[in-house]
Amino acid sequence: MHESHQPQQNHLLAALSAEVRQRLFAHLELVPLPLGKVLYESGDTMRHVYFPTDSIISLIYVMESGASAEISVVGNEGLVGIALFMGGESTPSRAVVQSGGHAFRLKGPLLKAEFDRHGELLVLMLRYTQALITQMAQTAVCNRHHSIDQQLCRWLLLSLDRLPSNQLTMTQELIANMLGVRREGVTEAAGKLQRQGVIEYSRGHITVLDRHKLEQLSCECYAVVKKETDRLLPYVPQRQVN
């Protein structure tokens, strides 16, 4: 296992007791997740779960027309592949790497065996799933009722909470695909944030300069998701607002 990458960099794995870690950690496999990599397509049978450390994975719904919209983001607070322990084995969404980095991968049967012990892993997974459902529901409301400017702020904040730094690598075209809006709308919204000194944007690199201002400009949706995530996942360290 690479020295600079440890399972504990994923907060859910870090929250496990020494006994559970002993059973699982030896089976974890570190995998690189380059930007844009598809972990699974709609309808695929899942064989692994992924615990991101310094990457973000988007769960995206793709329409028959090819149009797409993000339904949730997963980072170092959780895992990708809840269908494996929920019993469904597959989902109609696609999982795509939104911000490149790494994750630890675990084979499905190993996760299910630990889940079926009805111990602490089960409790953590169910609480995480509830937090994810809240995020999905709030995203649906946000996409319907709030402006692109507000959606972009919410999206940046959710991404920021799941990364170890204040920098994201993401093209405007990808952001537009995530939000299900036209690229021109994202360009305009990002330009406004840059002029206000909230972000710095250059060639696919976004640096958040003023998180506090970003939170003020965002709609209520970010705060709702953040509050519920903090309540359900007390193991996630709190980000400091500059």
Domain CATH for 187: 1.10.10.10
CATH of the domain at 46: 2.60.120.10
Long-range contacts of 112-121 (CB under 8 A, 24+ apart): 112/84, 112/85, 114/20, 114/23, 114/24, 115/85, 119/20, 120/16, 120/17, 120/20, 121/16, 121/20
> Could you read off the pLDDT of 109-149 as tens digits, one per residue?
999 999 888 888 999 989 999 998 888 888 887 777 888 88
Residue range 191-215, pLDDT digits in tens: 888 888 988 888 778 888 898 998 9
Domain count, the chain: 2
Give CA–CA dist 49/35, Å, rounded: 18
36 & 91 share domain? yes
For 97, the domain range is: 7-119
Residues of the chain below pLDDT 70: 1-3, 88, 90, 171-172, 176-181, 238-242
Q: Give the 3-state secondary structure of residue 137.
A: helix
Choose among 9, 12, 5: nearest CA to 235. Answer: 12
Residues 106 and 179 in one domain: no
58 and 152 together in one domain:
no
Establish if 238 belongs to a structural domain: no
14 plus 115 within the same structural domain: yes
End of a domain among 119, 134, 159? 119
